[in-house]
Structure formats: structure tokens, C-alpha cells
Structure 1
Amino acid sequence: MEISPEQQKLIGVKTVKVDIRPLQKTIRTVGRLEADESKLATVNTKIEGWIEKLYVEATGSYIKKGQPLVDIYSPELVATQQEFLNALKWAKQPADSPQEKDKNSSTDLSRLIAQDAVATLEASRQRLLLWDVSAGQIKKIEESGKTIRTLTLYSPVNGFITQKMAVLGMRVMPGEKLFDVADLSSIWVIADIYEYELPLIKVGNRALITLSYLPGKELYSQIDYIYPTISAETRTIKVRLKLPNHNNQLKPQMFTNVEIKINLGKKLMIPESAVIDTGKGMVAYVDLGNGTFEPREIKAGLRTDGYIEVLRGLKEGEKVVSAANFLVDSEAQLKGVKPLPLK
């Protein structure tokens, strides 16, 4: 099909070269901030007892690792300490007794009692350790010869109290949860990716994260985990990113905008404006020179940033109409010129 230079100028025909250029796909989605699960801790009790003192007043309080949280009075704890002290006394008996020098049945009996006391001493020591009585506290009990009335539970991490079940005077049972603590020094971003976008993403993809809470601020991260299951309702899969949380500006359950840029290498590309969707396929008009244009069917690939990937139908270096191509197409239809089919 021929169009004179005058007609081309009149209708505003412009052409561009079919070129190989970097193809970058941008996936835009919404994310939600969540606490880093690897930095969550639960404080519970391993003994039965009653809460006699609370060091934390309310949910949301910030605490440091090793900070006392609660004192628990437990009769069982006191009884075990007394058993420990009695065993300690009997374990020392043979060494302290002047009868040790006598080689008689009384000495043998004392030796057997001492051996049994050593076993009891070690068993009660291990029981105290399993109840989270520290080695330092046990040594203090051993040196003073006195029991401690209450067991103090300490925070295992720095963080915020996210749940507080402990109440003054409450009876507690072994395994009962008293506090949940969250270290928010780093925070997760959980974003949803559509099923059809899954082949494009991988661990390590860089992402730009913005929040309405921090207008104008851009945060950068990368995908560090892709979850193994897809939601049946939304047909999306979750991906996880991690952000440092300076000054605790980021709060769990905040929403974020996430942009993941995927580099797909260099591909044969033309502007989207150079492609006409006929409903039956994609058509581009090739400038053969001297006012001659040839309509061709093309096979299109990915679209990104105003460009479209050409899989078949065009070659690098050819020129295609990028402006007024609908007018060129109308002229071709009037003249009965059909697109060259894909081979």
C-alpha cells in the first residue's frame, strides 16, 4: 500500500525503528506490615503458683531483654528448695562427721545416705533449673541456706508487650501464657502477587516500598521468601520482604505500596502505539520506503512502560508506523489490503 509523502505529512505519520532494548516489568501491589516472626517471644510459667508482683503495667510497654516481668509464689518451688538444702546437708555429712575415720557399719550407712543425698541434690538442682531458677540463684540458696519465696520471670528479648494476660493475684498453671513480646527492630512486608505474575518473581528481586504514613519517603528491600501456597479465593501468592525499623516508625498492620522491578533481559521491542489490536490479532504497519507500507500480523509478548515485546513478525532495524497508524489502517481497509499473516 502506497501513501505519498504529502499525505503522510498531512495525516501525521511517524515511524520508529524496531529495536532491541532492555525489558523491565514492574509489578505493583499492596503490602501489609507484620511483626518479624523470628523475633517474637512468649513468656510462660513452668510451675503452678500465684502472681505476687507485676513489673509491667500495660500492653504496649517497651521492655529490655533480662528485665523482670513478674514474681510468682509457688509452694512447690519452696518445697523443692527445702529438699535441695536438706540433700546438701546430708551430702556434706560424711566429710564433716568425725565418725568417717571409724571403719564400722555406722560409717558405711552414713556413706550410703550421703550417696543418696548427692543424687537427690542433683535431681532437685535440675528441677530448679528446669523451672527457670538461674544457676546464680541456686548458688545463692546454697550459700545462704535459705529458700527464696518467689520465682521471677524475665523478658527473653527487647521489644513491646503485645499481649498481657498476667494479673496480680492470678493463679497460674504450668505452660500458661503470661506475656507476648515482639521485637520490632525489623519488620516484615507481606505482599500479594497474582498467580500469572509468579513466573516472573524470585527471591532477591528488588522492591520499592512507600507508605501514606511517610509521604515522599522511599524504602528499598528485596524478596526474601515466596510462600508455598496460593489463595483459592484471590488467586494470589504471598511474598515476604524485610525492612529495618528505625525509631519504630513502622507499625504492624500498616498498609504499603510495593513496586517490584523485574529485569527480563534485552528483547525486540516497539512502542505500544505502533500496534493495532484488530480483535483477531495484533497488526503493525512496516515502512518499506518510498511511501510503501506493509501491514503485518505480529505475535506480542510482555507490555511494559509504553513498549511491547515482539516475539514474531518483525525484525530488528525495520521501521514501523508509531503515529497515525489507525488512519493508515483505515486507508488499507478501503483499498482491501490485508495484513501479511505470521509464518
Structure 2
Amino acid sequence: MNKRLIIAVFLALLLGLGIGYWFAAEKFQPKVETTPVPRKPLYYRSPMDPAVTSPVPRKDSMGMDYVPVYADQEQAAETAPGTVRIDPVTEQNIGVRTAVAGKETLSHVVRAVGRVAYDEERLVRLHPKTEGWIETLRIDKTGEWVKKNEDLLSIYSPQLVASQQEYILALNNLKALEKSPIEDIRRGAEELVKSSRERLKLLDVPAHQLRDLTRTHEIKKTLHIHTPAAGIVMNIGVREGQYVTPATELYMIANLSTVWVYADIYEYELPWVQVGDRVEMRLAGIPGRVFEGHLAYIYPYAEPKTRTIKVRLTFDNPELLLKPDMFAEVTIFAGRKVDAVTIPAQAVIRSGARNQVFVVRAPGKFEPRTVTLGLASNGKVAVLEGLEAGEKVVTSAQFLLDSESKLREVTTKMREPDEPADLSSKPLPLPTPQNSGNTDGEAEPNRHEGHRHD
């Protein structure tokens, strides 16, 4: 009896000590306040169209803020129209490949066929200033090099003879009246000499013949015509004894130390090129030589038949190797560069009305997104809106994903409001070459037809 009492007292003592220790720990334990960790949204969705998303906060056309989508809402966001989920096996079977959108600088090289032509600023077409007859033709062969102010031909013109006579009369009149006490008479005689001399200059009388006429007072039957610039005689329009008028072209002289090259570029290449771009040129007639020049002008119209834009290139030609009407291969190194988010060009689905890509939201989950494209070069295209650097886009099998996306979107719109979204809640296998089924439209026979119960 005493032994049982001792055991009961011992158990009661242990129970009391335990209860006391629990109260003491509960009373003196410090209270720690926890600060809730802010959630980071995965992306933002348009409040009016759930299919429109953005990686950054923004407003729609009505000024409404995009709704953030968090990780715990991913399952709910997955039911948005157009979102596609496929299992890993199907993803491998249809050959889904992805690429990361990166920020880089795009450049472009334009290649075209050019035609060498004259430098129009160094082209001279010589015409007489009066009617007359060609007496002597000193330069009578095309292709000859002439220096500036070189004597080309002699012309007899009655008007030139009459102008010489007027000049000599004015000189004699000035000599007779230079000592006149009346100032107006002296001034009138000087003005007459000056005007007669200017008339001869305007008729292209050379300076040496004008000096001889002033000194000797001897009228010349023929007067010389000199070249106003150095160059190569490309065309001779007259022969000795021929009657000429101001409409007759005597010579065409071209300075080929600089040549122009015309090339045609396509419309999609026009945004890249600009005046001053460096150009290289190669010709079949001058193998092994690379000529360097620059783009001098872009013509402000397009060719109606070829839908191309003509550009003018300038090249130095000190050795006279470049000859007009030669064909050449030109390479324009576009100086314009674009720093933007770029993706492979094959990732874009171009439907005509819009450009779309499929963005990888999670393993096996692909979201269609409309993007605004910029310039394209070397298999890359710049994305102006709709995509951020670092996001993954689908580069192959995206047309199968697009078909599945449209099917899911239509199914979602046709579903009743209270009907569960089973089509988006679980991945569905896409049709693959391995399980595409029969193509004749007949149903596959039931393998267990013999065990079917009526």
C-alpha cells in the first residue's frame, strides 16, 4: 500500500513540474514578428484580353493597368486562350527547338551590280556662241587627252568679224577723245571700249587673240576655241568646213579621274544604307583589284519595273582603269547599326495581319505573343515591342503549336461559363508522324471486337 502511494505521489510531482515548465516557457518566450516577403509577378496580363501579356508593367489603350500574374496563379493563368501545354515526349517527337532573345547590334551588307558612268560634274559639252564655219579642226580624234585651255579648232563667223571691227573703232575713238576737256565725252569713249571688249569675251574669243587685236588692230578672219577643262575627248560633233550654230555640239570632254557607279538596291535594303557608307567594287576586267569609294546619293524615287532604288557611288580613278559602261560587283557596308532585342527570323509566324512568336513560360508550356518587328539581317530580326531580352522563343515546330493554340482558344470561347477548363488544365499530345492514324478516314478496327458485349 505504501509502495503504490509513493508511485502516485512521484507521478503527480512529475506532472506538476512539466506543467510549470510549459507555462514558464510560454510566458517568457520572446515574440518574433515576421515580415511578409513581397511576391514577384511572373508577367502582366491585359485586363481586357488575357491573351495579351507583357513582361513589364504597362497600360492598355484604355488606360487600364495590366494585371500581375504570380507563381501561385500560374495554374489559373494557364487557362488563358491560346496557351499550349504538351508533354515532354510529344515535344521531342515534333522537334521543338528554342532560342534565347538577346540584345545585340545588327549590321548589314548590301551586294549589287553596278555600272560605271561619267562624273557629270566633270563632263563638258562645248557649243559655239555664234554661227559660222569650221576652218581648222586641230583635235580630230576621240579618246585624245586635252589640257585645260588647249586650242581645239578655228571658226570663221561674220558676227565675230563685225565685233572685232566695233572694238577697233572703239579703240580709235578713245584715242581721239582721251584728251577732250569734256569729262562726259571721255567717259563715253571709255565705256564704248569696255562694252566692245566684253562682247568679244562673251563670244569666247581667247585672251591671247584679244591682246593681239588690242595691240595690232588687225582683224582676224578666224578665231580659236579652247577647251575650258582638261579631260578625254569622248565625242566630236563637227568636221572641217561644216556650218555650225549654237545648237551644234562641237566636243564632249570628260574628266575620268573620278567616276560614278550606279547600282540598284531592293526596298527592304533601303533602311540600312545612308549617304557616306563605305563601298568596295570588283570588276571582271580588272581581276585582283578592289576599288574603294563611298555612297554619294540615294535617288528619291523607285524604278517602276524593277521596284528597286538607284544609288550613286563615287570612286577615284587616277590610273584611268575604270571606263564608262563597265559592269562591276559592288558591296555596300551599311553604316547604320541597330541595337535591339533580336531573335532568329524563323521564330516569327507571319500571318499577314500580325507577327507572332511562342514564348516558353515553363517546361512544356508555350504562350503565343504578338510582337512588333524592326530591321532584319543575317537571319536575325529586331523586336521592337512584345519581347524582352532573356526570354526563350520557339524556333521550330511553331506551326504545330500555332494550330494547337488556335484550337484551344476556340474551344475555350465555345465552353460554357460554368464548364471546367479541362482542355488547358492538362497537356494534350499533338499529332506526330508516329501516331497520326489512318489517312483513308476509316476507323481502326477494335482488337477486342470478339469480346464485345451487346
Is the 1:296–1:339 Cα contact (8 Å) retained in structure 2? no
Q: Does 1:306 align with 2:306?
A: no
Opposite residue 84 of structure 1, the aligned amino acid is Y
Change (3 A) 1:340 1:194: farther
Opposite residue 163 of structure 1, the aligned amino acid is N
The offset of 1:112, in angstroms, is: 9.8
Number of equivalenced pairs: 322
Structure 2 residue corresponding to 1:223, chosen from 288, 292, 295: 295
Is the 1:274–1:320 Cα contact (8 Å) retained in structure 2? yes
Q: Does 1:54 align with 2:127?
A: no
Q: Does 1:126 align with 2:198?
A: yes
Q: Does 1:64 align with 2:64?
A: no
1:249-285 superposed Cα distances (whole Å, 9 cap, x missing partner) = 1122223333332534211112335556689976656
1:196-250 superposed Cα distances (whole Å, 9 cap, x missing partner) = 5444443333434333333454333333222233333333332222111121111
Q: Which residue of 2 aligns with 1:255?
A: 327
Which whole-Å CA distance do the structure 1 matches of 2:300 and 2:202 have between them?
A: 37
Q: Does 1:141 align with 2:224?
A: no
Which whole-Å CA distance do the structure 2 matches of 1:235 and 1:174 have between them?
A: 40
Is the 2:283–2:329 Cα contact (8 Å) retained in structure 1? yes
Is the 1:207–1:220 Cα contact (8 Å) retained in structure 2? yes
Identity, in percent, stands at 36
TM-score after normalising by structure 1: 0.76
Is the 1:50–1:74 Cα contact (8 Å) retained in structure 2? yes
Please identify, of 151-160 and 40-49, the stretch whose mean Cα deviation from structure 2 is larger.
40-49
- Indicate the SS of the match to 2:107: strand
Is the 2:137–2:239 Cα contact (8 Å) retained in structure 1? yes
Which whole-Å CA distance do the structure 1 matches of 2:230 and 2:201 have between them?
A: 23
Which whole-Å CA distance do the structure 2 matches of 1:135 and 1:198 have between them?
A: 51
Change (3 A) 1:57 1:315: same
Structure 2 residue corresponding to 1:265, chosen from 338, 346, 361: 338
Which whole-Å CA distance do the structure 1 matches of 2:408 and 2:384 have between them?
A: 16
Higher relative contact order (CA 8 A, sep 6+): 1
Is the 1:283–1:339 Cα contact (8 Å) retained in structure 2? no
- Indicate the SS of the match to 2:165: helix
Is the 2:273–2:336 Cα contact (8 Å) retained in structure 1? no
Change (3 A) 1:124 1:262: closer
Greater per-residue strand proportion: 1
Structure 1 gap ranges (5+): 101-106
1:133-178 superposed Cα distances (whole Å, 9 cap, x missing partner) = 2344222222223223321111111112222112011122245321
Is the 1:276–1:283 Cα contact (8 Å) retained in structure 2? yes
Q: Does 1:3 align with 2:75?
A: no
Change (3 A) 1:292 1:339: farther
RMSD: 3.8
Q: Which residue of 1 aligns with 2:75?
A: none
Structure 2 residue corresponding to 1:163, chosen from 223, 232, 235: 235
Is the 1:50–1:170 Cα contact (8 Å) retained in structure 2? yes
Q: Which residue of 2 aligns with 1:154?
A: 226
1:5-33 superposed Cα distances (whole Å, 9 cap, x missing partner) = xx95x998765422101122333333322
- Indicate the SS of the match to 1:246: coil
Q: Which residue of 2 aligns with 1:34?
A: 117
Structure 2 gap ranges (5+): 1-85, 410-454
Which whole-Å CA distance do the structure 2 matches of 1:148 and 1:114 have between them?
A: 28
Is the 1:269–1:308 Cα contact (8 Å) retained in structure 2? yes
Is the 2:206–2:225 Cα contact (8 Å) retained in structure 1? no
Opposite residue 65 of structure 1, the aligned amino acid is K
Q: Which has the larger radius of gyration?
A: 2
Which whole-Å CA distance do the structure 1 matches of 2:276 and 2:319 have between them?
A: 26
Is the 2:151–2:227 Cα contact (8 Å) retained in structure 1? yes
Q: Which residue of 2 aligns with 1:315?
A: 388
Opposite residue 376 of structure 2, the aligned amino acid is R
Structure 2 residue corresponding to 1:88, chosen from 171, 174, 177: 171
Change (3 A) 1:43 1:329: closer
Which whole-Å CA distance do the structure 2 matches of 1:329 and 1:238 have between them?
A: 38
- Indicate the SS of the match to 2:205: coil
Which whole-Å CA distance do the structure 2 matches of 1:115 and 1:318 have between them?
A: 90
Which whole-Å CA distance do the structure 1 matches of 2:264 and 2:186 have between them?
A: 66
